[in-house]
């Protein structure tokens, strides 16, 4: 069952488009839009196989990113949280939380930016866990977790002696202190917070995995997969932006080296490649990392072309081309960043030979 694009577009028109400027300039968090997606059944996987669920949710991210990549990024955070709960072997956790996340009653976040860098050999793990009766006690600070608010859930990984444990925690926990982070070049409306853990008890019912390293290996390809349509949406919006101004200055834009049709062909090719990968049921880390990396460079090319085609109008504060430019640079620096992806794709390719 494919996504009902008409209903999705109606939600975007009503609950997202009117607020994009405020999201970008005033750090407004489009929480109502995210809740509405769930209430309208867009996160419901109960009647779908995994491939259909993934393809549908990729479409939702792309359509959202065309209008506002900040909100699409928040949507990705929620889908990452859904992935953790869909994949956990903890039936109690899945039974309690999955329906709430899928029907939009509560929203989720990833919390794995630092752990993903840890497993890539780039950072130390910021949280520690002590095994106690009935669960774990966590301490430490996560520098940045996005898509957070009251009664939001997010994943976290902490070092526990010889291995790591992954848990699912709620922002309303009295021992978790949130401090909002804004003043970004873009994505101010991403509801990003520093999260300080002080003696936070997490019961076994809320443990995603007692062996986080193995679990991350399982979910990382999907984690990265859901990011790719962030770039697709921005490329699509840039193509539309270029088409709108093609008659500017007596059609002088036709002499620019990068044109909308070239960008469209590249986008369609990468979209087809991604869809075939999902349909194959074999989403390897190497394959999806290569697509994600290619999406970064194609997105950067598209937003730069959009700026050039729009000329001085694109440099006005608050213009759509300038917002898409800033969104693209965030996409390039979203974990795994372009630097990390370059390292991963080369390392994984060498190791597979």
Residue 33, domain extent: 5-107
If you average pLDDT over every residue of the chain, what do you get? 95
The domain boundary, picked from 68, 88, 107, lies at: 107
The answer as to whether 57 is a domain residue is: yes
Measured CA to CA, the distance from residue 324 to residue 337 in angstroms comes to 18
Q: What is the CATH number of the domain that holds 95?
A: 1.10.540.10
Statement: residue 9 has pLDDT above 70:
yes
Nearest Cα to 63, choosing from 89, 84, 33?
33
Query: Could you tell me the pLDDT band of residue 49, with boundaries at 50, 70 and 90?
Result: very high
Across the chain, the runs of DSSP E, i.e. the strands, are 108-109, 127-132, 135-145, 153-160, 163-170, 176-180, 193-203, 207-209
In a domain? residue 220: no
DSSP 147: S
What tokens does 62 get?
A: 């792309």
Residue 214 backbone dihedrals phi, psi, to 5 degrees: -65, -40
Judgement on whether residues 121 and 84 belong to the same structural domain of the protein: no
Tell me the pLDDT tens digit for each residue of 301-317.
999 999 999 999 999 98
User: CA–CA separation, 168 vs 110, rounded Å?
Assistant: 9
Indicate the pTM of the whole model.
0.96
Q: Are 206 and 168 in contact (CB under 8 A)?
A: yes
Segment 183-242, tens digit of pLDDT: 888 788 999 999 999 999 999 999 999 999 999 999 999 999 999 999 999 999 999 999
Contacts of 247 (CB under 8 A, 6+ apart): none
Instruction: Report residue 284 as tokens.
Output: 């390897």
Looking only at the bridges linking them, the beta strands covering 135-145 and 108-109 are unpaired
Q: Which of 186, 215, 244 is the last residue of a domain?
A: 215
Q: Number of C-alpha atoms within 13 angstroms, CB side, residue 333? A: 10
Where does residue 275 rank: exposed (0-12), middle (13-18), buried (19+ CB within 10 A)? middle
Residue 257 CB neighbour total at 10 angstroms? 7
One domain for residues 126 and 171? yes
């Amino acid at each position: 069952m494919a996504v009902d694009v008409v209903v999705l577009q109606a939600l975007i028109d009503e609950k997202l488009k009117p607020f994009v400027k405020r999201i970008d300039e005033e750090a407004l968090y489009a929480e109502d839009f995210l809740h509405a997606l769930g209430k309208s059944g867009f996160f419901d996987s109960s009647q779908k196989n995994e491939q259909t669920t993934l393809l549908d949710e990729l479409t939702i991210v792309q359509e959202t990113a065309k209008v506002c990549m900040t909100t699409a990024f928040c949507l990705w955070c929620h889908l990452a949280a859904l992935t953790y709960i869909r994949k956990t072997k903890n039936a109690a956790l899945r039974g309690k939380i999955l329906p709430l996340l899928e029907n939009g009653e509560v929203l989720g976040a990833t919390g794995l930016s630092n752990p993903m860098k840890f497993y890539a050999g780039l950072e130390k793990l910021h949280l520690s866990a002590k095994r106690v009766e009935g669960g774990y006690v966590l301490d430490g600070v996560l520098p940045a977790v996005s898509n957070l608010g009251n009664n939001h859930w997010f994943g976290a990984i902490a070092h526990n002696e010889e291995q790591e444990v992954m848990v699912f925690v709620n922002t309303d926990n009295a021992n978790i202190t949130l401090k909002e982070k804004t003043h970004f070049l873009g994505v101010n409306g991403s509801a990003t917070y520093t999260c300080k853990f002080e003696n936070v008890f997490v019961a076994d019912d809320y443990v995603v995995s007692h062996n986080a390293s193995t679990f991350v290996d399982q979910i990382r390809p999907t984690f990265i997969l859901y990011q790719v349509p962030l770039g697709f949406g921005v490329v699509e919006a840039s193509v539309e932006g270029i088409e709108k101004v093609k008659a500017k200055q007596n059609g002088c834009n036709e002499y620019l080296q990068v044109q909308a049709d070239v960008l469209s062909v590249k986008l369609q090719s990468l979209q087809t490649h991604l869809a075939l990968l999902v349909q194959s049921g074999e989403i390897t880390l190497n394959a999806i990392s290569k697509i994600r990396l290619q999406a970064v460079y194609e997105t950067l090319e598209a937003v730069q072309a959009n700026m050039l085609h729009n000329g001085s109008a694109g440099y006005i504060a608050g213009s759509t081309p300038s917002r898409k430019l800033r969104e693209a640079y965030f996409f390039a620096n979203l974990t795994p960043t372009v630097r990390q992806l370059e390292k991963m794709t080369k390392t994984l390719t060498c190791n597979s030979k």
